[in-house]
A and B are shown apart, each in its own frame.
Chain A
């Protein structure tokens, strides 16, 4: 890593953060969506906790908070992919490619911007859940672990989104950026624990890496961590693979000129 890399990354990150927070049309959906998911799932579906054998101690709001927090972190990354696609559509990204002395810094900058965006969204979602009466049984270290999971999910999603956006270089890539993330997240045990799922969704959820991250997050909130090492290992592996993907996307954009 060179000074040139950090210089490019810092510049792109600053621009990404500035554009996000200076434009309500960009920042508001990424804040409002998770809040509505939290309200709809934790409020509207709270009767699900009456299902026999549902025994998540902190309650249904905390059960759903874990999902919404990880979802908000993933979508923080996805929305950054939209920004990358927009930059290619407007021609800005091509000028950026011309003037950046270390182009991999561009990916790092967008990913850093996604992380800052999620810090704000994640904080707001957390405050909203606490105001709604969420019970947290994990200690400080476990909560740091919870947000650590969120950071990794955000990085994986941002790198995926950057890769797709750089390969396709058009805003029309939006559906392709978000649909796989949406599907992977919703094929995890969102509404009930894995053992209460049945049929094909149980089979799919069982092998879905998002299930491991979600169960680890719920365990951390409940103060009884489960599958934590596996979740971190999977997410770190995912980040490594996605950084290669994003790098190849960048190479494709470089070739396209």
Chain B
């Protein structure tokens, strides 16, 4: 029944909420749900910091390799928690979405006039909030542990923006997996595969210092290397236009690809009957 027809029949008029209201409602639910599951918040925060603390010290000897940047290994390693945190965001966003599909909540939403794009954007809202909190904590812990940000205060803000963009891209990937497979177990099953992409990148050493040719080649073709190098450049180099362009470029590409594929999958999931 159209709004005008309903009004002329004396039935209270149905007002379709704006897209912003729809996104806001779904996002509010997503954020609330995320903060209610404190266990899911703590692990993604603590685990990357733990690895940072251990590897930052255990790999300190890498500084003695000829050609290693003239910074402490902790400075060099601080970029890694931002990317690891983004992977955790991907898994938690995907798992939450998959749970909605498994529990039938999605099917009930399909009965409402909610738009698919609003649902997707809103669902990722919780992920973005987690990403913001994570990035702030990683940066604060890094600075507290003596890491200097070579690009200064402005660089720190850009670093936060880049890390949130990366997390958003990975959250889109989590959503895509959830929409494709419809199972939280499947989303979590992809986690090791995603985690490996960090190991097979320039996360632990600069690419020019990787001795094994095959590994250097893999790291060069691995986009995660450029995400890490973008974040890292702000910490140890200062303002490096090329590293930032590649970092933001790949982060944007990740967002565009994952969100458009997730949007297409959403249409199939939200079949309105």
* Contact call B210/A197, Cβ cutoff below 8 A: no
Q: Does B261 count as interface, using CB distance less than 8 angstroms?
A: no
Beyond the given A50-B65, A186-B55, A197-B58, please list 4 additional residue pairs across the A-B interface where CB-CB is below 8 A: A39-B200, A183-B54, A192-B59, A192-B61
* Contact call B204/A201, Cβ cutoff below 8 A: no
* Contact call B192/A201, Cβ cutoff below 8 A: no
Q: Which 10 A-B pairs have the closest CB atoms?
A: A40-B199, A201-B57, A43-B215, A43-B212, A46-B211, A47-B211, A192-B61, A51-B61, A36-B196, A51-B64
* Contact call A47/B65, Cβ cutoff below 8 A: yes
Contacts of A230 on B, CB cut-off 8 Å?
none
Interface size in chain B (residues, C-beta < 8 A): 31
Check A44/B60 contact, CB under 8 A, given A29-B192, A50-B66, A187-B54.
no
Contacts of B196 on A, CB cut-off 8 Å?
32, 36, 40
Contacts of B55 on A, CB cut-off 8 Å?
186, 191
- A32 CA / B51 CA spacing, docked (Å): 20
Q: Does A147 count as interface, using CB distance less than 8 angstroms?
A: no
- A51 CA / B62 CA spacing, docked (Å): 7
Residue from B39, B58, B189, B214 within 8 A of A192 (CB atoms): B58
Q: Does A19 count as interface, using CB distance less than 8 angstroms?
A: no
Residue from A25, A45, A190, A199 within 8 A of B60 (CB atoms): A199
Contacts of A198 on B, CB cut-off 8 Å?
57, 60-61
- A237 CA / B271 CA spacing, docked (Å): 60
* Contact call B58/A32, Cβ cutoff below 8 A: no
Q: Does B209 count as interface, using CB distance less than 8 angstroms?
A: yes
- A33 CA / B192 CA spacing, docked (Å): 7
Q: Does B219 count as interface, using CB distance less than 8 angstroms?
A: yes
- A192 CA / B73 CA spacing, docked (Å): 14
* Contact call B54/A186, Cβ cutoff below 8 A: yes
Contacts of A29 on B, CB cut-off 8 Å?
189, 192
Closest Cβ–Cβ distance, residue B62 to chain A (whole Å): 6
Contacts of B221 on A, CB cut-off 8 Å?
none
Scoring A40, A190, A198 by chain B CB atoms within 10 A of each residue's CB, the highest score goes to A40
Q: Which residues of B contact A (CB under 8 A)?
A: 39, 43, 47, 50-51, 54-55, 57-62, 64-66, 185, 189, 192, 196, 199-200, 204-205, 209-212, 214-215, 219
Contacts of A52 on B, CB cut-off 8 Å?
64
| Contact residues, A183-225 vs B (CB, 8 A) | 183, 186-187, 189-192, 196-201
- Please, which residue of chain B has its CB at the minimum distance from the CB of A187? B54
| Contact residues, A43-96 vs B (CB, 8 A) | 43-48, 50-52, 54
- A45 CA / B199 CA spacing, docked (Å): 10
Question: Which bracket fits the contact residues of A?
Answer: 20 to 34
Contacts of A175 on B, CB cut-off 8 Å?
39, 43
- A47 CA / B204 CA spacing, docked (Å): 11
Residue from A40, A44, A48, A179 within 8 A of B61 (CB atoms): A48
Contacts of B39 on A, CB cut-off 8 Å?
172, 175
- Please, which residue of chain A has its CB at the minimum distance from the CB of B63? A51
Check A44/B205 contact, CB under 8 A, given A51-B64, A197-B57.
yes
Closest Cβ–Cβ distance, residue B266 to chain A (whole Å): 26
Closest Cβ–Cβ distance, residue A195 to chain B (whole Å): 10
In the assembled complex, 20 residue pairs joining A and B whose CB atoms fall closer than 8 Å, in A order, are A29-B192, A36-B199, A39-B199, A39-B200, A40-B196, A46-B211, A46-B212, A47-B62, A47-B65, A47-B205, A51-B61, A54-B61, A186-B54, A189-B58, A191-B62, A192-B59, A197-B57, A197-B61, A198-B57, A200-B57
- A190 CA / B58 CA spacing, docked (Å): 7
* Contact call B59/A43, Cβ cutoff below 8 A: no
Q: Does A14 count as interface, using CB distance less than 8 angstroms?
A: no
- Please, which residue of chain A has its CB at the minimum distance from the CB of B210? A44
Contacts of B214 on A, CB cut-off 8 Å?
43
Check A44/B192 contact, CB under 8 A, given A172-B39, A187-B54.
no
